[in-house]
Structure formats: C-alpha cells, structure tokens
A and B are shown apart, each in its own frame.
Chain A
Amino acid sequence: MSPLIEIKGLCTEFRLATGVLKAVRCLDLTLEAGETLALVGESGCGKSITAASIMRLVPPPGRIVSGSILFKGRDLLKLGEDEMREIRGNRIAMVFQDPMTSLNPVFTVGYQVAEGLRIHRGLTRDQAEEETVGILEQVGLPAPRERLRDYPHQLSGGMRQRVMIAMALACRPELVIADEPTTALDVTIQAQILELLDRIKTETQMGLLLITHNLGIVAERAHRTAIMYAGQIVETAVTAELFKNPLHPYTRGLLASLPEFGTPGEKLATFAGSVPDLKNELTGCPFKERCPICDDNCARESIEMKEAGAGHTVRCLKAP
C-alpha cells in the first residue's frame, strides 16, 4: 500500500529583492494513514512553508521549484488549480496556530464551518447547518446550536480553536495538517484540544501532520518525529526511539536544553551561534558552525540521510 502522503525532494524558494531564500531544501517525508507524524524545529526552519507547500498555498513571492508530493499516489504538484481545490479543505485540511486571525471575523462560526460542506459535499444550507451542529458537538463546543450565529470574537481562545478543528474536520479529510494547534492556548485547554485531535484521529483513521516546537507534546502524541533544521529534515525516527537515542547533534542539543531535563538551579545546555541565513548558499552541513563534533569534512561534503537503525535516519557524517 502506498503511504498517505509521500514528499520527495521538495524545494520551496522565495525570490526576494535581496536574494533567493531557500526555505525548504530537498525535503523527504512520508506519512501513513492513521499515523501522527510530528515535524519539529525552531522558528524559520521551514516547518510552516512545508505545510503550505503540501496545501499548495505558498504565499508569493514563494514558489515550489522542484520535487513531488504524492497524495495516495497522485502528485499534488501536477494537479490543476481546479483539481487542487477539490482536495484542499476536503481531503487535506489544515488547522492553524492562531484562531483569532485565521477565522473570518465578519462571518458567523456556523457559516464558516458549513462553507466546506456546501462547497465540497453539495449540501443545502439547512443540511449543512444540521451537519455543522453535529460536528461542533463532536469537537466539544458547549451548546453548539446556540453558537451557530456567534461571531469569532464572541468565543474564547479555546472555543475558537475547537471551531477551527471543526472546520478542518467537516469534510472528513484523510490528512489533517495542524500547524502549532495549541501554542496560543493555556495548558489545561491545550490538553483538552490534543485529546480531541487524538480521539478523532483514532475514530476516522486520518493521518495527522503535527507541526510544533513543543517536545513534550511530541513525546506524548506522535508515532514518528522528524526534526527539521535550515529547510532540511536532519533526523527522523519513531518518537520513543528518537528521545531515547537521539543521533543528530542538533536533536541532542535541543533535548539537552530543555528545563525538564536540567537540574534545578544548574545551567542548561545551550548551543552557540544562531541559525544560518537561508539566503546564503549552504555548503556542507548547515549545522556545522554550531556543532560540537564537526570536522573539516562537514564543511566540504553535501550530507545525505543515512540509515542508523530500523526506521531511524539521520543527516550527519559523524553520527554513529
């Protein structure tokens, strides 16, 4: 069986007045149905642009320059805009980070959730409304029928995020991309939303691409994890294996810098320097300036992903 989504050699660039910014550099990623894959990295590493590339919603002046994104064997990058519109919001849906700016303030939440149902499933207004009440109930919005006529500003942050999830799930998509779905929420609400996503995923066997920088969430929710740095995947493994046996020095550094692992009152591990400017041509390993174990070869060679165990791959010359 082919994977739900298979990304091969994806490159997405932004042509800016000051140069070409290569946000995603030859990225490979696969996700199976029913699986949660976490995509982890710091701001600016290309996580969100990867998501936008899958949806074919890269904002100009960005564009996808090469690669393929196979969704159940069909290359999304070869589809016409009409065909893509059939898939977007219908078979692949997205949950965004900030529900305040991603919901439309001038439409009621009922209208926004029903929109996808009317467009993709051809339901009438009344049918769509009935269906919407059911979906809002499923995502745990209290008193959903009374909420239909509410505008986003009348809801709390947690409720808005539930509405966003309801919108994404309305058409029963096969893949949901959740870009930092709980970053704007408090921990007790975050726990509720993550439970909800997990439950629905189990019920519908959809695939979930979870983009986050919160490693605690990753450890608890993701089957597999891919670590991203400077537009590339640098390590990927089954989540438990990745946390137990991180191989890339960047992954190791990230884990070591967590206060959770530090001894109270003692120093946390940090790495020197900052992320490379993606407008520059990067030769060799993009992490070499900050890496504690690099040598001359790391600057010369272009570094390929290598197998380091069952399902565990790493992009590092020095990794065992």
Chain B
Amino acid sequence: MTALLSAENLVKQFTVRGGLLAEKRQLTAVAGLDLELFPGETLGLAGESGCGKSTVARLLTGLTPPTQGTIRYAGRDLSGMDRGELALFRKDVQMIFQDPFSSLNPRMRVSEIIGEPLAIHRIGGAGQRRERVAALMERVGLSADQLSRFPHEFSGGQRQRIGIARALAVSPRLIIADEPVSALDLSIQAQIINLLQEVKDELQLSFLFITHDLSVLRHLSDRIAIMYLGRIVETGRRDELLEAPLHPYTEALLSAVPSIDPEKRRRRLIAKGELPSPLSPPSGCPFHPRCPYAQGICSEKRPELLEKEGGEPGHRAACHFSEKIYRSQGSF
C-alpha cells in the first residue's frame, strides 16, 4: 500500500538571535524525520513540549517549507507540485488546532468561519454553501440557528466543534489535529474524542493526531510515533509500542503517566533532568543525558531508527541497546 502522506529525512531549522549583538544560531526543530501515513489510518504523534511536534504539523500541511527533505502527498513531491496540484493538496489536507479561542477569528460569524474554506476553494454557489454550512453545524452537534453568532458566544467545547466543522467543510482526505482536546475539560474532552472518531469512520478519513496525552493516543491511534528533540525515537503499532516499548524514552513517558488503575501502574522510570535545548542538542543519542541505561557509545554515535530483533515488523526504535534492555531478562 502506498502512503497517503510521507516525509523523508525532513529537517527544519530556524535562525535565532540571542540579543542585539549576539551571534545568529541555528535551532534545529526537526532533525531528519521519516514518517508515513497510510489511507484510513490514525497515526498518533507524541512527545513533550519543544520536541518539534507542532513544527512537523506545519511542515506536513505545507504551511512552512522544510529546510531539507521531501514530503510526498499521494506519491507526488510537494515541492514539485504545480498550482493546481497544490490547491488540491491544500483542500485534501486540513488542520484542527489546539486552542479553540485563538484559532477562530473573533470578528467573523460562525457561518463565515465554516464557509470560508468553501469560498477559497470555490466550491458550490452561495445557496449550496449555506446549506453545506448548516449541515456541517448539525453534524458536529451544534444548531444551525447559531450560525450568525460570533465565537465568543460559544464555550470551549463548542468552539472546538466549530473548528472541526471548518476542517470538514471541503471534504478532506487527511486531517492533522494538533492537541485538539488538551485545552478542554474532562467531560468535554470525551465528547470531542467521540466526534473525531465518528467523522473519521463516516468519511473514511486519515488522521495525524498530535498529542502529549498518552491515554488519548491509546484510544484513537492505529499506529504511534514517539518524538524526542526533533526525531522519531520509536514507532510501531499501538498495542505493540505501548505494551512492549523498545526505547527508554518511551518507557519513561509511559511510566510517567499517572494511572487510575493500580494494575496498570508500571515500575517508575523517571527520566533525569529536562529536555535539552534544541539549540545545543547532545551528541550521539539525543536522550543519553537523561537515560538511566546510557553507556559510552550513546554519547558518541547516534542510533538509527531500526527494527529490532524480537519486535514485530514495522516496530522501529532508535536505541543501541533495545534488545539488551527489553528483550533479555531485565536490564544490565
């Protein structure tokens, strides 16, 4: 099966300047990332703040050009697309944002917000658009009577529904959702998760779901990719990755999540210290300064993202010692 969207050796650097006279420095937000997303699947991308998740979202939607590397949509290189192809790509790939407050224009009525993508892509006449917008409102669980209201008249959960309706307006094939539920209250979170799952099944969408919440990830994803300092450190099928992780960072992340079920609580592996600055990433394996298993080689040689002995095909990890740590008895 060919991937719907794929990234190869994706790099994004930003130039930053410390102060007026300080030298310019390169901040590498995404440092050689490979990713494949297949039709109809939900890929969950997880990592802590500052690991480059949101930059990946901006790169994959074409909002920011990569410094290096290739993005392919349905087999076609994004950088080689002509205007027509690009327009189609931008219609097919839609985005849902984290903050339901800042991602809706406060001066636009809801009907204009949801209708804008239709107008931009010149879909339908005015009458058809009105009908479509009303239908979308109902689909996401809001009333079509509320169409002439402004965003501030809605609660956070309702606004997130408006953001979803806007993303669905032009019948996309792929939705990239960047932390769509983390700003919401518990009971509202469940409603939005259900809505996303429903529209995905109904419209046979592919999803790239970016979040730091592993319980949400477990609920929604088919496959999971774990990011650390601009790189994927582990990727695999959901159950395989969550139950038999092959990277110490994944283990630390999983064991840090507080669990209600005492039986699910794991031996706690606490990652030491904090995420290093992407301005001066550690040598070798980016996780080695925080890793309890680190050895000499870890600070010298960066491990490749590879399948490991004893893991299932497609389950890859970037660690020199995966087999030793996770496939033999305990650790060394």
Contact = CB atoms under 8 A, between A and B. Distances in A.
A42 B193 contact: no
B147 interface: no
Nearest to A142: B273
B212 A253 contact: no
A251 to B, nearest CB: 11
A186 B48 contact: yes
B48 A187 contact: yes
Interface stretch (A59-67, A86-94, A215-223): A215-223
A219 B262 CA distance: 8
Tell me what chain A mostly uses at the interface: helix, strand, loop, or mixed: helix
Contacts of B60: none
A258 B215 contact: yes
A262 B189 CA distance: 13
Interface string A249-269: 000011101111110110111
A188 interface: yes
Contact of B260 (A157, A187, A195, A260): A260
A257 B191 CA distance: 9
Interface stretch (B117-125, B161-169, B216-224, B316-324): B216-224
A289 B177 CA distance: 32
A42 B213 CA distance: 18
B126 interface: no
Interface string B188-228: 01110110010000000000000011111011100000000
A191 interface: yes
B260 A258 contact: yes
B190 A257 contact: yes
A189 B220 CA distance: 25
B212 A42 contact: no
A124 interface: no
Given A188-B271, A189-B274, A274-B155, A42 B186 contact: yes
B204 to A, nearest CB: 14
Given A187-B212, A264-B220, A258 B186 contact: yes
Interface of B: 48-49, 155, 157, 185-187, 189-191, 193-194, 197, 212-216, 218-220, 238, 252-253, 255-262, 264-265, 268, 270-271, 273-275
18 contacts: A187-B214, A188-B48, A188-B252, A188-B253, A189-B48, A216-B258, A217-B258, A219-B258, A220-B265, A243-B260, A254-B186, A255-B260, A258-B215, A260-B218, A260-B264, A265-B197, A270-B194, A274-B157
